[in-house]
Amino acid sequence: MADPQVVVPVKSAWLSKINWTQAVASIAMVLALVTGNAISLTADQQGAVVVVIGVIGNIATFIFKTWFTKSVTPSSAAK
């Protein structure tokens, strides 16, 4: 039996909401750690800020992937 074929929209990974969400969250977490002393945050506060940014990034990724992704990247389509 032949594999079923499905036509789906394909877009560049550079346009991926998921990739951009994770990139922004990663940069924000690094900035929170690097600039925490400059704005007088304690180590505990810095850690809490990093955790909150990470959790928000993960939740945003889940939401984007579940309800707002209608296309795939070329590398995913090749599989």
The pLDDT tens digits of the residues spanning 10-53 come to: 888 898 999 999 999 999 999 998 998 888 889 999 999 999 99
Is 23 inside a domain boundary?
yes
Question: Tell me, what's the pLDDT at 77?
Answer: 73
In a domain? residue 8: no
Where residue 70 falls among pLDDT bands split at 50, 70, 90? confident
* CA-derived radius of gyration, the chain: 18
Q: Is residue 55 part of a domain?
A: yes
If one counts the domains in the chain, the total is 1
Q: What is the pLDDT of residue 1?
A: 63
Is residue 6 included in any domain, yes or no?
A: no
**pLDDT surpassing 80 at residue 56:** yes
Structural domain of 53: 17-70
Nearest CA to 10 out of 64, 65, 77, 68 is that of 77
Q: How big, in percent rounded to 5, are the helix, strand and coil portions of the chain?
A: 65, 5, 35
